[in-house]
Structures are given as C-alpha cells and as structure tokens.
Amino acid sequence: MKKKKAASLEDAIANLRDGSIVLVGGFGYGGVPETLIEGVCDSGLRNLTIVNNNAGTGHTGIARLLEEGVVGKMICSFPFASESHVFKELYAAGKVDLEVVPQGTMAERMRNAGAGLGGFLTPTGVGTEIAEGKPEFEMDGKTYILEKPLRGDFALIKALKADKRGNLVFRKSARNFNPVMAMAAEFTIAEVAEEVEVGDLDPEIIVTPSVYVDCYLVTGG
C-alpha cells in the first residue's frame, strides 16, 4: 500500500513550486486547510495562482498568503468581502491579478477537469461580461456558453478523517469545495483531524476515495 501520510508539514507541501496553480478548499470557516496554508505562507514560494471562493478575510489563511507576497493571481467568485482588506489593497495597487468566476461555474470547471472532460455548456453568465470571448451554443431553444476545465497543479484540502489508504470523510458544510478540488488537481494534499485504520471508514460514506488523494497530513485539530 502506497504510503501517503506526510512526515511533517514541510514534507506535505514540499512539491509546490513558484507559479503553481493551487486549489484551496474551504468556504467561510468550514473546511479550510489552515495548517497547509500556514506552511505555504512560510515557504517563500512566489507567484502562485490560488483558487478559492473568496480572496481571504482578516489576516489569516488566504489573506496571509496574500500578505506574504506568495500570490500572483486569485481565481474566485466573491473576492471583495467586507473583511478582505488585504486583497482589496493589493488589487487596487495592481499587485495581484484577479479572475472572477461564478461560483457554480468554478465548482463545475474543477469537477470537469477531474472527470477528464474538455469543457461544458452552461446557461450561467449568458448575456453578461462572463460570456465575453466564450463560444455560445443554442440547444433546444436555450443559449449556453462554453466553459473550460480548471485544473490545479496542487489541491490543499481539509477533511475530518483519512484512513491509511487516503480515503476521506468530511464534516457538515466543511465539505464544500474540498471533494471537487481533490478531483481536479494533479497532486492533492489533505489536512485531516484524524487518521484511522483501513476498514474503519464505512465505504458507503467515503466521499473522496483514496485515488484522488496523494498525501495527507494529520493535524489532530
């Protein structure tokens, strides 16, 4: 059985490179891989593209990534939250790029990448700025635009438990983007509160099967 457990935080994120596209799970407080993000903050990496629903709030998590100068570009659906001071300042100063994507399109673009598909047709964004430059299709009297898959070099996700194979279960709405990001990245790193033996997770409730998980870090929290 392939050993996926990281020996340390540094070990877990050792493969990240300058310029990597990094999918970061979490929505609000739930499902945020806080430990992994802290590790990236301290890594000295530069020019990462970060995919997350938001652009960080306060001074922790993604806001700290921005503050440490790690981020070259954000891809998100809701960048200007009231507490997103760090991002707003950097964006206004032209120090970070931004791509705003409708939230459902963002999720589906990642699922699409994970599913080996080359894009999908969505009604979302038709007639808006989002449609600019994208091919339009008519089908059964309805208009759709073509959206392309969004692949990550890495995904940093958070789950409740991993078994030693790397199967994951989540907790409540902390699931959010984490399972689709696990699918969409070349290399997925999961931060988990608890590690259990193979066989301890009911196979009927495993949300992310181990094939999507390359490495997990047990944080105990």
Partner 1 sequence: MARIMTKPDKPLLTRDQVARRLARDLEADWVVNIGIGMPTMAVQYVPPERDVILHSENGIIGMGPPPEREEDIDRDLMSAGKGPVTLIPGGAYVHHADSFSLARGGRLDCAVLGAFQVAANGDLANWKVLGASAGNIGGAMDIAVGARQTFAIMTHLSKDGSAKIVDTLTYPPTALGVVTRVYTDMAVLSVTEDGFVLEEVAPGLTAEDVQAACDAKLILPDTLCEIAA
Residues in touch with partner 1 (CB under 8 A): 27-31, 77-81, 91, 98, 100-105, 107-108, 110-111, 122-130, 170-180, 207
Shorter beta-carbon distance to partner 1: residue 107 or 185: 107
Q: Which residues pair with 76 in a beta bridge?
A: 100
CB of 178 to partner 1, least distance (A): 7
Q: Answer positive or negative: Cα dihedral of 18, 23, 25, 27.
A: positive
Shorter beta-carbon distance to partner 1: residue 138 or 197: 138
Would you say 123 and 144 are in contact if contact means Cβ atoms under 8 Å apart? yes
CB of 64 to partner 1, least distance (A): 18
CB of 100 to partner 1, least distance (A): 5
CB of 169 to partner 1, least distance (A): 11
Tokens matching residue 34: 């806080």
Q: Is 20 helix (H, G, I), strand (E, B) or coil?
A: coil
Shorter beta-carbon distance to partner 1: residue 15 or 124: 124
Q: Is 196 helix (H, G, I), strand (E, B) or coil?
A: strand
User: What are the CA-CA distances from residue 168 to residues 53, 159, 203, 207, 211 (Å)?
Assistant: 21, 6, 10, 6, 10
Shorter beta-carbon distance to partner 1: residue 129 or 197: 129
